[in-house]
C-alpha cells in the first residue's frame, strides 16, 4: 500500500481534489468533519453522522449543507466500492474579515473516499495495548462534543509514540479525568455497568459510542456517563475503545495494567456487527 494512492474527492460536487488557500477551513480550522464507514457499499449510521454534522454546524454558526445533497455526492464516489471510508468535511468557505465570519457564508463541501484501513484483525479479536498521553485535552465547552477541524491536540498526542505495539493513546484533561482516545471513545465495564466519560467539557461525541449506549439496555447493562480517572480504569472489569472505523477494540494493556477481552465487550462487538449493514436504526 503506497501513500500516494489516489483518493477520489468531490469539492462542492465537482471532481476536484483541491480547495482555495483562502478557505477558512485551512486558515482557522473553521469547519467540521465526519469519518464514515462504508460497508456493503452503504455508509453506516449515515443519519447519525448527518445529525452530528448538523449539530456541529449549528454550534459554529455555519449553514449546514443539505444532507440529501451530501448523500448524493457520497454515492457518486461509491458506485463499485464494497468497503471504504468516507470523509466529509464542511467548512465556512472563504471570506470574512480576519477571524470575523462573512455575513453570508458559502460553505465548502468536501467528500473524500479513502481505502479501508488495514488494522490487523487481532485488534478487534484479541485487543490492543494503549498508552496514557502526556498531551492533555483542554476543557472548552463551546467546542466539546462536536467534530471540528481544530485537532492539534490529537496530532501532538499521536506524535508521542511510534510502532504498532501501542495502537491508541488515552487522553486526560488537566484534572486527570480520562476523556477519550486520540481517535476513539473510551468505555469501561464495571459490575455490569457501562461507564464512559462525560464529554460536556471536551472530547468528541462518537457515533458508535451513542449506538452502544442505546444497545446496552438490551444486554441488561446500565450506562453511566461520568468522570473516569485512572483508578477506575485500573479497577475496571473490561475496557474498550470505539469509533466508526474500528468498531470496538478491547483494551488489554496500559503500562503494567492488564485486562482481558471480557464477555460484555464480546457481546457488544457481536451486537454491533449484527446490526443491519447501512442501517440507521
Q: For 130-262, where are the alpha helices, taking DSSP H only?
A: 152-158, 207-215, 230-235
Candidates 50, 60, 84, 208; binder of its own copies (CB under 8 A) is 60
Distance CA 169, CA 183 (A): 8
Told to check if 13 binds its own copies by CB under 8 A, we report no
Three cell numbers at 5? 494512492
Q: How far apart are CA 15 and CA 10, in angstroms?
A: 5
User: 68 to 127, contacts with its own copies by CB under 8 A?
Assistant: 89, 91, 95, 97-102, 110, 112, 117
Whose Cβ is closer to its own copies: residue 42's or residue 151's?
A: 151
Q: Is 44 in the site for its own copies (CB under 8 A)?
A: no
Contact region with its own copies (CB under 8 A), list: 123-131, 138-146, 215-223, 259-267: 138-146
Query: Does position 182 bind its own copies by CB under 8 A?
Result: yes
Return the half-sphere exposure (C-beta side, CA atoms, 13 A cut-off) of residue 55: 17
Cα gap 201→138, rounded to integer Å:
8
3-state secondary structure of 281: coil
Contact with its own copies (CB under 8 A) among 124, 151, 234, 257 = 151
Q: Does 149 bind its own copies (CB under 8 A)?
A: yes
Q: How far is CA 69 from CA 13, 31, 111, 136, 189, in A?
A: 9, 18, 11, 37, 40
Q: In the block, which residue shows the cell 488557500? A: 21
Selected from 29, 41, 63, 278, the binder of its own copies by CB under 8 A is 29
Q: Which is nearer to its own copies, 136 or 261 (CB)?
A: 136
Specify the residue, 27 or 219, whose C-beta has the smaller distance to its own copies.
27
- What is the SS3 assignment for 133? coil
Q: Is 163 one of the binding residues for its own copies (CB under 8 A)?
A: no
Packed helices 67-76 and 46-60: angle between N→C axes, nearest 10 degrees:
130
Select the residue interacting with its own copies from 52, 113, 131, 136 (CB under 8 A). 136
Q: Catalog residues that contact its own copies under the rule CB under 8 A.
A: 3, 7, 9, 11, 17-30, 33, 60-61, 89, 91, 95, 97-102, 110, 112, 117, 135-136, 138-140, 142-143, 148-159, 174, 182-183
Amino acid at each position: 500500500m503506497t501513500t500516494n494512492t489516489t483518493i477520489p474527492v468531490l469539492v462542492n460536487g465537482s471532481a476536484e481534489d483541491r480547495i482555495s488557500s483562502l478557505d477558512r477551513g485551512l486558515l482557522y480550522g473553521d469547519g467540521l468533519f465526519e469519518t464514515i464507514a462504508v460497508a456493503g457499499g452503504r455508509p453506516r449510521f449515515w443519519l447519525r453522522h448527518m445529525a452530528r454534522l448538523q449539530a456541529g454546524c449549528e454550534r459554529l454558526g455555519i449553514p449546514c449543507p443539505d444532507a440529501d445533497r451530501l448523500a448524493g455526492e457520497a454515492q457518486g464516489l461509491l458506485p463499485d466500492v464494497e468497503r471504504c471510508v468516507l470523509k466529509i468535511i464542511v467548512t465556512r468557505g472563504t471570506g470574512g474579515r480576519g477571524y470575523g465570519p462573512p455575513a453570508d457564508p458559502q460553505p465548502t463541501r468536501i467528500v473524500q473516499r479513502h481505502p479501508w484501513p488495514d488494522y490487523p484483525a487481532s485488534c478487534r479479536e484479541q485487543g490492543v495495548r494503549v498508552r496514557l498521553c502526556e498531551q492533555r485535552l483542554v476543557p472548552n465547552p463551546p467546542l466539546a462534543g462536536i467534530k471540528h477541524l481544530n485537532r492539534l491536540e490529537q496530532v501532538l498526542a499521536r506524535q508521542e509514540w511510534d510502532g504498532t505495539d501501542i495502537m491508541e493513546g488515552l487522553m486526560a484533561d488537566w484534572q486527570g479525568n480520562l476523556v477519550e482516545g486520540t481517535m476513539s471513545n473510551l468505555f469501561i465495564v464495571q459490575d455490569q455497568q457501562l461507564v464512559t466519560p462525560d464529554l460536556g467539557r471536551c472530547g468528541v461525541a462518537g457515533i458508535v459510542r451513542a449506538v452502544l449506549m442505546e444497545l446496552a439496555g438490551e444486554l441488561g447493562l446500565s450506562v453511566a456517563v461520568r468522570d473516569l480517572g485512572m483508578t477506575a480504569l485500573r479497577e475496571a472489569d473490561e475496557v474498550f475503545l470505539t469509533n466508526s472505523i474500528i468498531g470496538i477494540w478491547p483494551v488489554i494493556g496500559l503500562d503494567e495494567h492488564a485486562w482481558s477481552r471480557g464477555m460484555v465487550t464480546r457481546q457488544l462487538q457481536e451486537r454491533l456487527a449484527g446490526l443491519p449493514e447501512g442501517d440507521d436504526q
